[in-house]
Structure 1
Amino acid sequence: MNQPSASPTLDTLFQRILSRRPEAIALADPLNKQRITGHRPKRLTYAQADRAVAALAAHFVESGLPAHSVIAVQLPNTIEFVLTLLAAHRAGLVVALIPQLWRQAELVAALNRTSARGIVTMDRIDGVLHSDIAMNAAAEVFSIRHVAGFGNSLPEGMASLDDAIARDGHPARTAIQDGRKAAIISFDVTTDGFRAVPRPHLSLIAGGLAVSLEADLPQGANIMSVFAPSSFAGLVSSLAVWLLTGGTLSLHHPFDVDAIEQQIGEQGCDTLVVPAQLGLRLDEAGLFTRLPTLNNVIGLWRTPEQVSASPPWTAQGASMTDVYLFGEAGLFGARRTAEDGTPALIKPGLHGAPRETAGSSISGEILLTPKGTLGLRGPMVAVAAYAPPHPPGDSLIPQPSRDYVDTEYAARLDRATGAISITAPPAGVMTVGGYRFLAQDLQEWSRRLGAGTLLTALPDRLSGHRLAGRALDNARARDALAELGLNPLMAEAFRDRATPA
């Protein structure tokens, strides 16, 4: 019997739904999973998912991973990710979220920063042998003691988690379910550099409430998530929202428009979680008029400074909720008005749902800092992770306490409307899709490639920035970056200009 929890965790929420709806469908794989991973797509009920979670948790405990240790997870947007995360929490572990595009250099840096004891990955994702990357990274990190993966072609020395699930079992160690304990570690880049951001379960639940309440999702929602779960925003907008609504979570590994339309239609999904710019493109293409069951679209903005200039939402019968993302610092949401489909005004102060009700805030607070930047305060915000560094030479002088995180996004107050306008991203930080880099790091990598090589970030309307490179030999530059263990975004910056982007 489970011990009573001091406060809810993600696994607590899962088991509450399990007790009510054991035979309801809990998780559904992408229809194109065979192409992505070589594995056939699955659909699991809550009871089947619970058995898999228990077996994986037992494997982690039997492998000697101590309670409260960190396990790094680099998996695609499939049911294996959800099962692994819940199993790690049931075994008392903390999950470090590793973006899929990270290769050996970034993976090693994250493992060393968190003193991770284990790695979980897939044998291959989209043709890339992630199992080999994980094994090579593990060889460079002293703290790693266990490497495991899903798939039929795992290298020697990597434990098979498919076999662990097939054996069934229950963990010999019972983890205390306490929402105040660390649940995940994600990774961010600010003007002060690369940082690890730990969060407890309660922070994830607060983020999930911020999204689900603002979007007015019903209990039992049938959710389709097209957003990679390797960040705080990706995790709360899919897994946390799913557990809070107690419905079905269908997953899609970005991005195949035909597969996503087919899956939404076949499974009757009523909620779509998608990158906002992509959602607006699908609206312009008339996709939502062909999907009568879909009535909620949650659009996540990695470039929140672009929300105010975005086109209006036109789909009839489907509401659009803009979710503003500020790296790993935090987020807030605002549902668009039904009248004209334009973004809602964002005002400083408490934000929750409904916005019109004083004191209704669950999510947190928006504020303008003395520097003219946007600050976030509240239960989802990891203040300690973003505390400013001590000034050099004055280490004995304590820093003034601060109960908010400065997102470093430039913002101003509109005197006419009283709304906050986000005007610019953090200076010196480049956003390419879901990845953030320091401009000085790009310059450093180009210097390492030798004379005549340039790597820079150019403004891009959809993704914030795009990388562009110039070298005397582009193919040689791509190979050199790959050998250094850098992610494909950097290597592909040196594609030949005759090759279509």
Structure 2
Amino acid sequence: MTQPTASPTLDTLFRRTLARQPDALALIDPLNKPRITGQARRRLTYAQADRAISAIAAHFIESGLPANSVIAVQLPATVEFVLTVLAAHRAGLVVAPLPLLWRHAELTVALNRTAARAIVTCGKIDGIPYADFAMNAAAEVFSIRHVCGFGTELPEGMASLDQAIFQDSRTSRSVLQDGRKAALISFDVTSEGLRPVPRAHFSLIAGGLAMSMESDLPQGANIMSAFAPMSFAGLCASLVSWVLTGGALVLHHPFDEDVLETQVNEHSCEVLIAPAPLALRLGEHGLSERMPSLRNVIGLWRAPEQVASSAAWTAQRASLTDVYLFGEAGHFSARRTSEDGSPALIKVGPHGAPRDVQGAAIAGDILLTPRGTLGLRGPMVPVAAYAPPPPPADIMIAPPPRDYVDTEYAARADRATGGINITAPPSGVMAVGGYRFLAQDLQEWSRRLGQGALLTALPDRLSGHRLAGRAQDNARARDALTELGLNPLMVEAFRDRTNGALT
């Protein structure tokens, strides 16, 4: 009897393109990487990338990291991030990406919750000493046994992965390439707090397919990614879309508009992946004329309740695909096809990839829950990670298992069109760009600053919210928040303003 073929992993997909075109260009660093990390830019072919991936994987194996252990990664959108993720998978490890805005307080919680065995970072990113953050966090997490980084001026005790690539070790171990194996642990913030969300390879691939097939990405396309990769959606939009299409991935550390335009034109990029408000702004300012090679734009909405009221897409030669993001639970995509450039109508029920093609593979289901919120299910949606807590011990009959994830976004169906209107984000959860946190956390940090201090979140059209603070001594408040190891967005909320206003 023939054994069923295992589903592919991300490394499997990478190796398929490697076997087909080893000398083709694969990965290209941001144009301003020397400023961001102090390192020279890298341009790697598939064969060169493969050698670097194998060398980093060998370093992980030789360091004694057992298969299936968790390795935390906090890196910018550079070639090193892609190499590290694929190297970890080649070594049989599970990757836990950590957002760059996280500092000591969030890092230690995430590392402890996942029992991470190692952490990978950079010496400095935009002048900020991320290597020191990693070392300090690792000192408080019992499970961490290995800390390594890229770049120069690494602190004592941190292994250099640049040196590991240079040594080019061939150490390897047998790893079962099966898409059902764990690949990723990302982190969501729900009304119950920080939630680790594990995923298998097939779930990541399903998320990338939903984006790339809906936007009709051509095989072999040069993809410009200007979306931070440290999340499920960020990985799907960059790394996964790249291994699915088999072209070149051009990375951009968000965000410098002039650098982005130069990179797109220099590498004749056909695809741009960026935050949707940014994509719309580029469309309004002559995207087709300034970047004539672009044919597909994928706009990711961290605040999906804003899609319906967004501006029309006006670029002539490039199409726009809206990607609705619901934290780490999942996403769905809809390409704008109407003549006026307005968002596509979203309806309850199965949605294919591509969405409007009869007989297309089902990417997932959209539903309205009894609570009046939007629910998701499908191959990319990790239902178990969001399962409701077990019933109290005095209840003898357990409720039936739920086959969907409640995103907690308020939604309703329009009676006239049948379309879904997403009306509000989850209650009690704030978002500043890609950084999500609980409203009660703001109150807690504000109390720690003493009497007369105020830290609040104000609505913002582009990023969902923006933070603002006021204290009797703003400089002292900033120092106190920095010492607490908090996110820099909270620290900068207390920046001095000439007019004294809360903005």
Same fold (TM over 0.5): yes
Cα displacement string for residues 123-147 of structure 1 (whole angstroms, at most 9, x for unaligned residues): 0000000001100111000000000
CA distance in 2, matches of 1:353, 1:210: 6
Aligned to 1:492: 492
Aligned to 1:229: 229
CA distance in 2, matches of 1:317, 1:248: 21
Question: How much has 1:362 moved relative to structure 2?
Answer: 3.3
CA distance in 1, matches of 2:361, 2:429: 31
Structure 1 contact 53–87 (Cα < 8 Å) conserved? yes
Structure 1 contact 220–247 (Cα < 8 Å) conserved? yes
Aligned to 1:31: 31
Report the AA paired with residue 427 of structure 2.
A
Secondary structure of residue in 2 paired with 1:308: coil
Judged with a 3 Å threshold, the aligned counterparts in structure 2 of structure 1 residues 138 and 415 are, in CA distance, closer, same or farther, namely same
Judged with a 3 Å threshold, the aligned counterparts in structure 2 of structure 1 residues 57 and 420 are, in CA distance, closer, same or farther, namely same
Judged with a 3 Å threshold, the aligned counterparts in structure 2 of structure 1 residues 150 and 396 are, in CA distance, closer, same or farther, namely farther
Judged with a 3 Å threshold, the aligned counterparts in structure 2 of structure 1 residues 196 and 56 are, in CA distance, closer, same or farther, namely same
Q: Which piece of structure 1 moves more, 189-198 or 280-289?
A: 280-289
Q: Which piece of structure 1 moves more, 395-404 or 67-76?
A: 395-404
Report the AA paired with residue 139 of structure 2.
A
* Structure-to-structure mapping, 1:149-164, within 5 angstroms: 149-164=149-164
CA distance in 2, matches of 1:170, 1:65: 16
Aligned to 1:252: 252
Question: How much has 1:338 moved relative to structure 2?
Answer: 4.8
Cα displacement string for residues 44-82 of structure 1 (whole angstroms, at most 9, x for unaligned residues): 000000000000000000000000000000000000000
Judged with a 3 Å threshold, the aligned counterparts in structure 2 of structure 1 residues 373 and 135 are, in CA distance, closer, same or farther, namely same
The answer as to 2:351 corresponding to 1:351 is yes
CA distance in 2, matches of 1:211, 1:338: 19
Structure 1 contact 319–338 (Cα < 8 Å) conserved? no
CA distance in 2, matches of 1:389, 1:452: 39
Structure 2 contact 104–136 (Cα < 8 Å) conserved? yes
Structure 1 contact 23–47 (Cα < 8 Å) conserved? yes
CA distance in 2, matches of 1:40, 1:459: 39
Secondary structure of residue in 2 paired with 1:375: strand
Aligned to 2:261: 261
Question: How much has 1:359 moved relative to structure 2?
Answer: 4.5
CA distance in 2, matches of 1:113, 1:336: 40
Secondary structure of residue in 1 paired with 2:299: strand
Judged with a 3 Å threshold, the aligned counterparts in structure 2 of structure 1 residues 269 and 394 are, in CA distance, closer, same or farther, namely farther
CA distance in 1, matches of 2:184, 2:24: 27
Aligned to 2:301: 301
Secondary structure of residue in 1 paired with 2:14: helix
Report the AA paired with residue 439 of structure 2.
A
Aligned to 1:414: 414
CA distance in 2, matches of 1:286, 1:354: 27
Report the AA paired with residue 327 of structure 2.
G
Structure 1 contact 289–316 (Cα < 8 Å) conserved? no
Aligned to 1:467: 467
Aligned to 1:173: 173
Secondary structure of residue in 2 paired with 1:309: coil
* Structure-to-structure mapping, 1:420-435, within 5 angstroms: 420-435=420-435
Aligned to 2:315: 315
Aligned to 2:382: 382
Aligned to 1:186: 186
Secondary structure of residue in 1 paired with 2:308: helix
Question: How much has 1:498 moved relative to structure 2?
Answer: 2.0
CA distance in 2, matches of 1:435, 1:186: 13
Judged with a 3 Å threshold, the aligned counterparts in structure 2 of structure 1 residues 293 and 498 are, in CA distance, closer, same or farther, namely same
Aligned to 2:207: 207
Report the AA paired with residue 247 of structure 1.
G
CA distance in 2, matches of 1:5, 1:116: 31
Listed as ranges, the gaps of 5+ residues in structure 2 are: none
Question: How much has 1:454 moved relative to structure 2?
Answer: 1.4
The answer as to 2:214 corresponding to 1:218 is no
Judged with a 3 Å threshold, the aligned counterparts in structure 2 of structure 1 residues 171 and 498 are, in CA distance, closer, same or farther, namely farther
Structure 1 contact 430–437 (Cα < 8 Å) conserved? yes
Report the AA paired with residue 367 of structure 2.
L
CA distance in 2, matches of 1:460, 1:15: 43
Q: Which piece of structure 1 moves more, 488-497 or 7-16?
A: 488-497
Judged with a 3 Å threshold, the aligned counterparts in structure 2 of structure 1 residues 476 and 376 are, in CA distance, closer, same or farther, namely same
Question: How much has 1:427 moved relative to structure 2?
Answer: 0.7
CA distance in 1, matches of 2:131, 2:369: 44
Structure 2 contact 57–172 (Cα < 8 Å) conserved? no
Aligned to 2:119: 119
Secondary structure of residue in 2 paired with 1:40: coil
Question: How much has 1:397 moved relative to structure 2?
Answer: 5.0
CA distance in 2, matches of 1:395, 1:65: 43
Structure 1 contact 432–466 (Cα < 8 Å) conserved? yes
Question: How much has 1:282 moved relative to structure 2?
Answer: 1.1
Listed as ranges, the gaps of 5+ residues in structure 1 are: none
Cα displacement string for residues 76-119 of structure 1 (whole angstroms, at most 9, x for unaligned residues): 00000000000000000000010011111100000000000000
CA distance in 1, matches of 2:357, 2:219: 22
Alpha carbon RMSD of aligned pairs, Å? 1.5
Question: How much has 1:393 moved relative to structure 2?
Answer: 5.1
Question: How much has 1:228 moved relative to structure 2?
Answer: 0.6
TM-score by length of 2: 0.97
Question: How much has 1:389 moved relative to structure 2?
Answer: 1.6
Judged with a 3 Å threshold, the aligned counterparts in structure 2 of structure 1 residues 91 and 396 are, in CA distance, closer, same or farther, namely farther
Q: How many matched pairs?
A: 499
Cα displacement string for residues 236-259 of structure 1 (whole angstroms, at most 9, x for unaligned residues): 011101111111100000111111
CA distance in 1, matches of 2:81, 2:279: 24
The answer as to 2:90 corresponding to 1:90 is yes
Report the AA paired with residue 217 of structure 2.
L
Question: How much has 1:358 moved relative to structure 2?
Answer: 4.4
Secondary structure of residue in 2 paired with 1:362: strand
Question: How much has 1:333 moved relative to structure 2?
Answer: 0.4
CA distance in 2, matches of 1:80, 1:295: 27
CA distance in 2, matches of 1:353, 1:52: 34
Structure 1 contact 305–422 (Cα < 8 Å) conserved? yes
Structure 1 contact 305–423 (Cα < 8 Å) conserved? yes
Structure 1 contact 5–176 (Cα < 8 Å) conserved? no
Secondary structure of residue in 2 paired with 1:366: strand
CA distance in 2, matches of 1:154, 1:368: 50
Cα displacement string for residues 260-305 of structure 1 (whole angstroms, at most 9, x for unaligned residues): 1111111000000000001111111223321111111000000000
Secondary structure of residue in 2 paired with 1:350: strand
Question: How much has 1:356 moved relative to structure 2?
Answer: 3.0
CA distance in 2, matches of 1:228, 1:220: 22
Question: How much has 1:353 moved relative to structure 2?
Answer: 2.5
Cα displacement string for residues 288-328 of structure 1 (whole angstroms, at most 9, x for unaligned residues): 32111111100000000000000000001000000000000
